[in-house]
Amino acid sequence: MNKTKYLIIGNSAGAIGGVTGIRREDTDGSITIISAEKHHTYSRPLISYWLEGKVSQEKMIYRDEDFYEKNACEVILGTKAERIDVQKKQVYLAGGGSVTYEKLLVATGSVPFVPPIKGRETAKNTFTFTTMDDAAGVGEILDKNSKVVILGAGLIGLKAAEAVVGQCAGVTVVDLADRVLPSVLDTESAEIIEAHLTSQGMVLKLETSITEIGDMEVTLSDGELLPYDILILAVGTRPEMSLVEQAGGKVERGIVTDDHQQTSLKDIYAAGDCTQSYDITSQTAKNMAILPNAYLQGEVAGQNMAGGSAVYEKAFPVNSMGLLGLYMLTAGSRIGESITVKTDESYKKFYTKDGVLKGYIIIGNCDRGGIYTDMIREQTPLETVDMEMLIKEPGLMAFSPGERYAKLSAEH
């Protein structure tokens, strides 16, 4: 019997999920991984901690050193996949050569979005901040006298700011939005984070943009000139969907897949930040660049590539992060009616609509926040829950006996 030839483009969470999914169904087929990066698979969210010195290079790895060997993977690192030939079932590589496949998983992730700024092409010491190489580049020139300017007050920009603030002379974060983390926080919750960041020495310039990059200085939209030694451009990312798009596959806010993670192209699957998913809370298709989602999508894709019948469903955004000792957890969508509860140790805001929990924001003590996440995932009817009790003290006692029994049964 012929062994199936599996090919995976990418080497992060979606790709690793893919390997795991394939091997669950097929222990004999050949797996080849192609990655533009030259590193063993590593955890991207940790690059800020690595730059900060909190995490060693060894702790960065996403799977053990022998992961590829154990799963019998051939790995081609530091090589970019340039084109998919759907008819010939071949992927052409930069610098020549090609790899044939029977089943292909595209797990190309996302690429930094850098807006057109005058002077960007010739500017010195400018970096994006999504890869280990980006963080290494910043680290090479960062010292206690460095003035750091960061464009972008989203998740990536603020993690970069956290990594450098204790190692440099000053950090200024510039963003066009009226608040930090505009994709996950509302005005009130953002104010708590902003107060914390400024108390730790960061300067925030909101509702402002960079109009020009000069010789080691930037011009802001209000006319201010800001000198810098390091400029980090962290405006956001875009799904890397060009391979599938050029091959004639359907793309929208990411590569379009069905709930088996199959694209519109025969024998080609996609997973992770390059795809779009259906968000059960907002009931819209969107790009959700979140590591756990990427891994699960990859796992589902891998199983189905190898003849299984797994489905990926119940997707919604979840973000968990700490910023200079202050923790926050957000999930779902900010739609419907809101309930806010403030205590000395936490700020909680819940959004409900159509009798279910649609989303929440927690800042401070995030213990047991997973209960709320489960409620969103399972679309638990609020009439079966003592919401008042649950808001004060997340625990099983807030659920009706039937719901409690179901949850306890699911755990065993």
* pLDDT value of residue 387: 78
If one counts every other C-beta atom within 10 angstroms of the C-beta of residue 100, the result is 13
* pLDDT value of residue 370: 87
* pLDDT value of residue 390: 76
* pLDDT value of residue 30: 97
Please determine, for residue 395, whether its predicted confidence score (pLDDT) is greater than 70: no
Q: Higher confidence at residue 359 or residue 366? A: 359
* pLDDT value of residue 384: 86
Structure tokens, 337: 């009616």
* pLDDT value of residue 412: 44
Tell which CATH classification among 3.50.50.60, 3.10.310.30, 3.30.360.10, 3.30.1330.60 matches the domain 5-44+62-111+238-305: 3.50.50.60
CA nearest neighbour of 165 among 122, 208, 201: 201
Please determine, for residue 350, whether its predicted confidence score (pLDDT) is greater than 80: yes
| Collapsed DSSP state (helix, strand, coil) of residue 269 | strand
Q: Decide: 306 and 261 in contact? Cβ < 8 Å.
A: no
The number of C-alpha atoms within 13 Å of 230 and in the hemisphere containing its C-beta is: 31
Q: At what angle do helices 155-165 and 132-141 cross, to 10 degrees?
A: 30
Calpha distance 315→360 (Å, rounded): 15
Judge if 126-235 and 327-411 fold alike in CATH terms. no
CA nearest neighbour of 411 among 383, 376, 370, 355: 370
Calpha distance 341→391 (Å, rounded): 8
Tell which CATH classification among 3.50.50.60, 3.40.50.720, 3.40.50.2000, 3.30.499.10 matches the domain 126-235: 3.50.50.60
Rounded-to-10 torsion of CA 293, 296, 301, 304: -140
Grade residue 410 by pLDDT with cuts at 50, 70 and 90.
Answer: low
Grade residue 406 by pLDDT with cuts at 50, 70 and 90.
Answer: low
The number of C-alpha atoms within 13 Å of 190 and in the hemisphere containing its C-beta is: 17
Structural element, H or E, at residue 156: helix 155-165
Structure tokens, 401: 């006996």
* pLDDT value of residue 154: 96
Please determine, for residue 303, whether its predicted confidence score (pLDDT) is greater than 90: yes
Grade residue 29 by pLDDT with cuts at 50, 70 and 90.
Answer: very high
Q: What's the whole-number average pLDDT of the chain?
A: 93
Please determine, for residue 177, whether its predicted confidence score (pLDDT) is greater than 60: yes
Q: What is the chain's length?
A: 412
Structure tokens, 77: 């690192």
pTM for the predicted model, two decimal places: 0.92
**What are the residues whose beta carbons fall under 8 Å from the beta carbon of 241, sequence distance 6 or more?**
108, 251, 254, 255, 274, 275
Which residue ranges make up each domain of the chain?
Answer: 5-44+62-111+238-305, 126-235, 327-411
Q: Decide: 322 and 306 in contact? Cβ < 8 Å.
A: no
Give one DSSP letter per residue of 180-202, joined into a string. Answer: SSTTT--HHHHHHHHHHHHHTTE
* pLDDT value of residue 19: 98
Please determine, for residue 401, whether its predicted confidence score (pLDDT) is greater than 80: no
Q: Decide: 69 and 75 in contact? Cβ < 8 Å.
A: no
Reported as a single tens digit per residue, the pLDDT across 315-346 is: 999 999 999 999 999 999 999 999 999 988 89
* pLDDT value of residue 399: 53
List b or e across 148-186, with b for residues whose CB sees 16 or more CB atoms inside 10 angstroms: bbbbbbbbbbbbbbbbbbebbebbbbbbbeebbbbebbb
Mean pLDDT of 135-150: 97
* pLDDT value of residue 97: 94
CA of residue 73 relative to chain centroid, distance:
25
Mean pLDDT of 246-271: 97
Reported as a single tens digit per residue, the pLDDT across 178-224 is: 999 999 999 999 999 999 999 999 999 999 999 999 999 999 999 99
Q: What is the DSSP letter of 275?
A: B
* pLDDT value of residue 388: 78
CATH no. for 327-411: 3.30.390.30
Q: Decide: 295 and 18 in contact? Cβ < 8 Å.
A: no
β-strand pairing of 277-279 with 284-286? antiparallel
How many helices and strands in the chain, by DSSP H and E?
12, 25
Q: Which amino acid is at 389?
A: M
258 φ/ψ sector (left φ>0, alpha ψ -120 to 50, else beta): beta
Q: Decide: 136 and 38 in contact? Cβ < 8 Å.
A: no
Q: Decide: 53 and 46 in contact? Cβ < 8 Å.
A: no
Mean pLDDT of 170-176: 97
Minimum mean pLDDT among 61-65, 103-107, 280-284, 383-387: which range?
Answer: 383-387
Grade residue 237 by pLDDT with cuts at 50, 70 and 90.
Answer: very high
In the chain, % of residues over pLDDT 70: 95
Please determine, for residue 391, whether its predicted confidence score (pLDDT) is greater than 90: no
Integer Rg of the chain from CA:
23
In the chain, % of residues over pLDDT 90: 85
Structure tokens, 232: 């980090």
